[in-house]
Amino acid sequence: MTTDAPQATPTPNAAFKPRIFSGIQPSGGLTLGNYLGALKRFAQKQDEGIETIYCLVDLHAITVWQDPEKLRQQTREAAAGFIASGVDPARSILFNQSQVGAHAELGWLFNCVARLGWMNRMTQFKDKAGKNAEKMSLGLYAYPSLMAADILLYHATMVPVGEDQKQHVELTRDIAAKFNHDFKTDFFPTPEPLIEGAATRVMSLRDGTKKMSKSDPSDASRINLTDDADMIAKKIRKATSDAEPLPESVEGLEGRAEARNLVNIYAALADMSPAAVVAEYAGAGFGTFKPALADLAVAKLSPISSEMTRLMADPAEIDRVLGKGAEQAAAIARPILEKTYEIMGMIRSR
């Protein structure tokens, strides 16, 4: 008997090996938001010795129009961004999604598990579609169900993401629980979102109420991982702020979205808490704080940008790394997909 309601008692993850999966869309250049919300933590998780699988989700990127040549370039650039941020292809599996066909196959199976009512609640679709929902691709609407497939295809138990992806990981848990309930199995884990650190939601440098995003039409709204030192410093100098000095405690940032954002960015880059940052800069105006932030950002990001440039000079090597990662990923994914087909009653006779 199937049910439309998410299940209350998910399968305990203790039965599964700890494994991390996460991805980034190669839908533009990587931003400081992607770095602090995702990449930096991807490298930390790998260094903690947990099995890590990271993916450039090109099938997600095409849910909005992508010029084919640019998509290829952006995918290689994003791969360079992962490696330059500390993801080591010898210790993590790194690949692009479309090279492992099992993602699209499990995505379809999950389209038949997820309920329209659940999809209708996804705020990212509403944000991206705005008033033009009728003109959006069907893929953009189905995106969270493919994301559930990306994660569950590896029986991943943990998913490091920024705050904006929390709802999609929750939907993944609902899909896993409904599948397990409907087919009377405990085949899929219910993965946990890992949303940690001071910059789980880096905001636009122009508007502290909007997420920093690679597809924002304003380049001044974000720091790209490919920006050089001058550009990084200029964007921080011009970032929207306010006329008040920094407060003595984080509570004093209430109602000051831009000030809070700049403090959080500083904290995440310096591996400090926001409370420690305001304690250090209490009473300082942005004339003092912005140059300090610019120096810190340049010191942390310039080596990444230089390493990306070096890696991008050899696109064939990047393609080789992605191909090898795809083979490793497929070796894990295929048996899980095959078992899913079998559980659902599909004949497997070849």
Q: Which residues are catalytic?
A: 128, 211, 214
Using the rule CB under 6 A, is 38 a contact of ligand AQP?
yes
Query: Taking CB under 6 A as the rule, does residue 27 contact ligand AQP?
Result: yes
Burial class (CB in 10 A: 0-12, 13-18, 19+), 68: exposed
- Residue 133 sits at φ, ψ, to 5 deg, of -55, -40
- Binding mask of the shown chain, residues 212 to 251, with x at each position contacting ligand AQP by CB under 6 A: xxxx------------------------------------
Task: For the CB of residue 220, give the shortest distance to ligand AQP in the complex, in Å.
Answer: 15
What is the nearest approach in angstroms of ligand AQP to the Cβ of residue 7?
A: 25
Q: What is the closest distance, in whole angstroms, from the C-beta atom of residue 168 to ligand AQP in the complex?
A: 9
CB nearest ligand AQP: which residue?
37
Closer to ligand AQP by CB, 71 or 229: give it.
71
Helices (H), ranges, 153-256: 166-182, 229-238
Residue 212 · residue 205 · CB < 8 Å: yes
Binding part of the chain for ligand AQP, among 20-28, 174-182, 253-261, 321-329 by CB under 6 A, reads 20-28
Nearest residue (CB) to ligand AQP, 49 versus 217: 217
Which 84-143 positions form the footprint of ligand AQP (CB under 6 A)?
none
Q: With binding defined as CB under 6 A, does residue 162 bind ligand AQP?
A: yes
- Listed in sequence order, the residues at least 6 apart from 237 whose beta carbon sits closer than 8 Å to its beta carbon are 290, 291, 294
The distance of closest approach from Cβ of residue 215 to ligand AQP in the complex, given in angstroms and rounded to an integer, is 3
The residue within the footprint of ligand AQP, chosen from 33, 144, 193, 197 (CB under 6 A), is 33
**Which residue's CB is nearer to ligand AQP, number 34 or number 157?**
34
Q: What are phi and psi of 256, to 5 degrees?
A: -120, 75
Q: What is the DSSP track for 78-90?
A: HHHHHHHTT--TT
* 202/322 Cα distance (integer angstroms): 28
Q: Which is nearer to ligand AQP, 38 or 87 (CB)?
A: 38
Angle subtended at Cα 106 by Cα 114 and Cα 91, rounded to the nearest 5 degrees: 120
Nearer of residues 34 and 180 to ligand AQP, judged by Cβ: 34
What is residue 192's three-state secondary structure?
A: strand
Kindly state the number of chain residues that form the binding site for ligand AQP, as judged by CB under 6 A. 22
Q: How far is CA 68 from the centre of its chain?
A: 22
**Greatest alpha-carbon span in the chain:** 72
By three-state DSSP, how is residue 20 classified? strand
Q: In the window 271-290, what residues touch ligand AQP (CB under 6 A)?
A: none
Find tokens 């699209």 and name the residue. Answer: 104
Report the residue from 11, 34, 172, 221 that binds ligand AQP according to the rule CB under 6 A. 34
CB 208, min distance to ligand AQP, A: 12
At its nearest, how many Å lie between ligand AQP and the CB of residue 269? 13
What sign does the CA torsion over 213, 58, 340, 320 have?
negative
The residue (of 126 and 310) whose beta carbon lies closer to ligand AQP is 126
Cβ-based neighbours of 277, under 8 Å, separated by 6 or more: 263, 266, 267, 270
d(CA 267, CA 273): 5
Report if residue 24 touches ligand AQP, rule: CB under 6 A. Answer: yes
Q: Does the protein bind ligand AQP through residue 37 (CB under 6 A)?
A: yes
Dihedral sign (CA 254, 239, 216, 172): negative
Nearer to ligand AQP, 154 or 179 (CB): 154
Member of 50, 119, 192, 201 binding ligand AQP (CB under 6 A)? 201
Please state whether beta strands 93-96 and 158-160 pair in parallel, antiparallel, or not at all (unpaired). Answer: unpaired
- Which positions lie near ligand AQP, rule CB under 6 A? 24-25, 27-28, 31, 33-34, 36-38, 161-162, 164-165, 200-202, 211-215
